[in-house]
Amino acid sequence: MKKFGNILWGVVLIVIGVIFGLNAMGITDINVFFKGWWTLFIIVPSFIELIRGDSKVWSFIWLVVGIVLLLCAQSILSFSMISKLILPFILVMVGLSILFKDTVNKKVGSKIKELNSNKDNLQEYCATFGAQQANFAGEEFTGANLDAVFGSVELRLEKANITKDAIVNANAIFGGIEITVPTNVNIKVKSTPIFGGTSNKINTQYNESLPTIYINSTAIFGGVEIK
């Protein structure tokens, strides 16, 4: 799905380049910088993430925001009316995001709940106004809770010994979490981004013979990166 994003951005740039060229030759007189053109920097990335990303709900929310801003810039909607609805809109969308986190992928959610039931397998790492690193090189990894509050946590599993399914609960609140995973595991992500995001850079096919790392991510004005 990453190719889809590259193709879409490529098409957008080609179209803009062609328009500039035709305008320069006097063949057309198309105004590329129409009212609200800047909203495309919200609409296009949101549309790409809606197609290929894990956080469908918030990708849809930002797509709607971009479209509404474009309509306001075109004077189809009123900025004053929209400004009064911002807070109710945010509250409703956050509520929907929390609800959808538990209903969109029930299979992943039930597995995460099962793995979290054995708290003895989970190691705790918390960074508040600081940084912490956990490196499991040559060690067995069964699961972890990561909390970054105005800080950062780095979990390195690329050389860890992972023989069965494991859970990583990653909560980034005004902070960042970086998780480096090995190549011989599957990755399943369940995320709740609230003015934050989860970036999954792993692009491998699911293999039933390999153990799976389930990453349960919540990003509130923060970010979780999986690589």
- Tell me what pLDDT residue 136 has: 93
How wide is the angle at C-alpha 52 spanned by C-alphas 47 and 58, nearest 5°?
55
- Tell me what pLDDT residue 64 has: 83
State the amino acid at position 116 in one-letter form: N
Is the confidence at residue 91, as pLDDT, over 80? no
| CB neighbours of residue 136 within 10 Å | 19
**Residue indicated by tokens 């993430």:** 49
- Tell me what pLDDT residue 35 has: 85
Distances, alpha carbon 224 to alpha carbons 77, 97, 165, 214, in Å:
35, 17, 20, 14
Between 64 and 226, name the one with better pLDDT: 226
Between 83 and 158, name the one with better pLDDT: 158
Is the confidence at residue 1, as pLDDT, over 60? no
- Tell me what pLDDT residue 71 has: 87
What are the extents of the domains in the chain? Answer: 2-103, 106-226
Residue 186's pLDDT band, with cuts at 50, 70 and 90, is very high
- Tell me what pLDDT residue 99 has: 66
Mean pLDDT on 185-212: 84
Pick from 75-79, 80-84, 120-124, 156-160: least confident: 80-84
Is the confidence at residue 53, as pLDDT, over 90? no
Among the listed residues 195, 158, 193, 153, the one whose alpha carbon sits nearest the alpha carbon of residue 177:
153
The answer to whether residues 161 and 207 touch, using CB atoms and an 8 Å cutoff, is: no
Among the listed residues 121, 37, 14, the one whose alpha carbon sits nearest the alpha carbon of residue 112:
121
Is the confidence at residue 4, as pLDDT, over 60? no
Q: Whole-prediction pTM value? A: 0.61
Average pLDDT, the chain: 82
Note the pLDDT tens digit of each residue in 124-168: 999 999 999 999 998 999 999 999 999 999 999 999 999 999 999
Mean pLDDT on 15-40: 83
DSSP string for 12-71 = HHHHHHHHHHHHHTTS----SS-TTGGGHHHHHHHHHHHHH-S-HHHHHHHHHHHHHHHH
